[in-house]
Structures are given as structure tokens and as C-alpha cells.
Amino acid sequence: MAQKTKQDDNVTYHSFDVLIVGAGGAGMRAAIEAGSKASVGVISKLFPTRSHTGAAQGGMAAALANVEEDSWEWHTFDTVKGGDYLVDQDAAEILAKESVQAVIDLENMGLPFNRTPDGKIDQRRFGGHTRDHGKAPVRRSCYAADRTGHMILQTLYQTCVKLGIDFYNEFYVLDLVMNDGKPAGVVAYELATGDIHVFAAKSIVFATGGFGKIYKTTSNAHTLTGDGVAIIYRKGLPLEDMEFYQFHPTGLAGLGILLSEAARGEGGILRNASGERFMERYAPTIKDLAPRDMVARAMANEVREGRGAGPNKDYVYLDLTHLEPAVIDAKLPDITEFARTYLGVEPYTEPVPVFPTAHYAMGGIPTNIKAEVLSDNDTVVPGLYAAGECACVSVHGANRLGTNSLLDINVFRQACWSVLS
């Protein structure tokens, strides 16, 4: 079970049962599953708690029904419909059914979710999540203020430390080593020293995140350059659904820095230059809480047709001024601070300029519902797995619903180890 290390010709060699490339939410959650049963090494080009999962603000969807009636069937329907019916429906059912246990697992690890007055995990509305198959919005998002991703990342890292998981921080993976069509290990560059390391493993999990930096304006960090996806592609393996890239409606205008959908979940309203609540024209039933692709297209259309705000009429407004300051401070502290810091806007009294920003890759490394990587003819590549944003199990179809990403990394990461065990 113990990993072995040896030095030879200025190259350091390591050996593990399971090797995970990427230390964000998906990578660390997979490490936790495997850590009690095998030797696990996790390679990350960042310190784990700096991974981009920490930027996720709004919440994690689960039909707990703590605040109002809900069911996994409704969650499945919303996921399939929100993905423009291009979703793998078996995967969507698994995502929705396992959501409750995924939240409870995190709670048991110590994640400090917001609470209702009677002590249950609190839930709020999010775009595209409805009751009775689309009849009205539902409170499904479990959250920790507007820092849910940050809390998940910290909780997972602390759990990994408790389990004694081996981390190789600030190591940049250069290549995947294949042997007779099977993964044998990876080659990595140690940023601090320039040394080369070779990691051998029986099974390898790619959890390297998204690739938003292919766009000029994005909510993604500078590190999200698609390294893992590119390595897989260079090995002659296919990628899937790469044309499906989500633009989040509410990026700070001109910057792309994300303002979570939680702002609209708490009652924020999108308005054009004349102050009109324009989403009433595009989605009369759920208005500002429509799925992200609908809202982003509506915002772009308002600008295109001359109803944009600002000197260049190139953005719209997110209006929070009708909300109580105490609600804003309790539930949206980071969001409002971003507006103050980067745009000099006071959300208590002024609407915030926003415009869609490149946010999430629905496509990536093709996998089945067990997180096994698939080759051109849909056959499994033995011993190779992918999870999180770099993977494409097609559970998000052409458009991911908000709060389903933090759920995704906590559901399909477990499938990796269920196969290995």
C-alpha cells in the first residue's frame, strides 16, 4: 500500500495504487474515497485550497426538502430540460438521486452550511430549479453564504490531511504515459526546483478542471488553461461536446468577475437601461431565475437591440437595491464586496453593471457514469478515469444548471473508486 520513491539520473520516481491529477473539489473528493483503501497520490499545480472550486459561490443542489416540498424526480427533470434535452438521462438521475447523500457526507465532514431556525441545512432558489416539472421556482440550493465552494474546498482538504493523503503541490503534469493502451503513469515538472518526477500508478484520475482562459473575458482563474484535457487529446483520445460552453449571465461588466446566481436567488432583478425588468418578456414564469443560457441570451439581446446601459450601452444592471442591507450582508457578502472593490458601485443603493462571462465547460474528456474514460468507439480505457469539469459524462448537456457543478464533483468522483474497488 505504501508509495515508493527512488532517485535516478536527476529524475525522481514515485509509485501509487491511485494517482489523481488535480486537487480541486473532484480530485480531493476522489482521494477521500480511495484513501482508506489504497495508496493515493494527488498532484496539483496549485496548493489545493487555491483550486478554482473555491471560487464557486452560490451552493450545491440537493432535493433535501428542508424548506419546501421537493423531489429527486423534479431535480432530474430540471437538469434534463436545462441541458436542452442533450443530457445523458441516466447520469442526470444518478446526480439527482445521490445529491442528498452527497450533501450529508460533506456535512458529516464538518462543512458549515447555513441553517434554518430549526437547525436544518438551509436552501435557496437558483436558476432553472423548479417544483412540479417547471411550474414554479423551488428552494433546492444548499449553501454556506456565498462562499460554498470555498467551504467545500477547505473541508475536503482537511479531510484529506486527516486521512494522510500524499499531496505533490506545485507540480505541473507534462504528459500521460501509456503502455499498450493503458495508463501507466504521468511525467511532472516540479515548479520550485525544475526537477522532473515520474509517477507510476495502477489507476489514474484526471480532475484538472475547466479551460475558461481560452476566452478573453471569463470568470475562470488564470490557471484554468485546460492542461488535462489537452494531455488526453494529445494521446489520441477523443474529446466530447467541446462546442458547449456556458456563459454565466452576471459577470461584472468589462471584467468577467463572477457575481453568483445566488444574488437573483435572493431576489435580485435584471434591468435594462430604462429600468425595465426585461426577463418578464423572455421567461414569464420564472423570470430572472431562468436557466443560465436563456438569461445570458436575453441580456445579450437587450444590448444588441439598443437597450443596454452605460456610456457604450454594452451592459445591463443587476438590481439589489430593494433588498434589506441585512439580507445582503448575511447571504451575499462576497458578491457585494466585489461590486464595491472592482467597479466602485454600492449595491445597497446602486444597480451593478453586469454582462455574460465565459464560465463553465460542459464538454471535455468523455466518460461513462462510472467516470471511466472512453475511447473513439465508446470502449473503456482500462485504469483511466476523469471527474469534475474536465470530464464529460454529459450530465449537463448543452447547459449546466447553477449549483449542479458542486454536486457533480461530489457524485461522479465516487464512481472512480467504486470501479477500482
Active site residues: 292
User: What residue type is 273 in one-letter code?
Assistant: A
Do 383 and 202 touch, CB atoms closer than 8 A? Answer: yes
C-alpha dist (Å) from residue 103 to 141, 267, 282, 409, 411: 10, 24, 33, 12, 10
Three state DSSP letters for 252-312: ECCCCCECCCHHHHCCCEEECCCCCCCHHHHCCCCHHHCCHHHHHHHHHHHHHCCCCECCC
DSSP string, 42-84: EEESS-GGGSGGGG--S-EE----SSS---HHHHHHHHHHHTT
Return d(Cα 37, Cα 332) in angstroms, integer: 40
Classified as helix, coil or strand, 390 is helix
List all residues 6 or more positions away from 104 whose beta carbon is below 8 Å from its beta carbon. Answer: none
Is residue 296 within 8 Å of 304, Cβ to Cβ?
Answer: no
Q: Which residue has the cell 500524499?
A: 166
**Beta bridge mates, 19:** 41, 204
Question: Do residues 299 and 317 touch, judged by C-beta distance below 8 A?
Answer: no
C-beta neighbour count of 243 within 10 angstroms: 8
How far is it, in rounded angstroms, from Cα 329 to Cα 15? 48
Kindly provide the b/e burial profile for residues 277-305, where b requires at least 16 CB atoms within 10 angstroms of the residue's own CB: ebbeebbeebbbbbbbbbbbbbbbebbee
Distance CA 89, CA 87 (A): 6
Task: Find how far residue 323's CA is from the centre of its chain.
Answer: 28
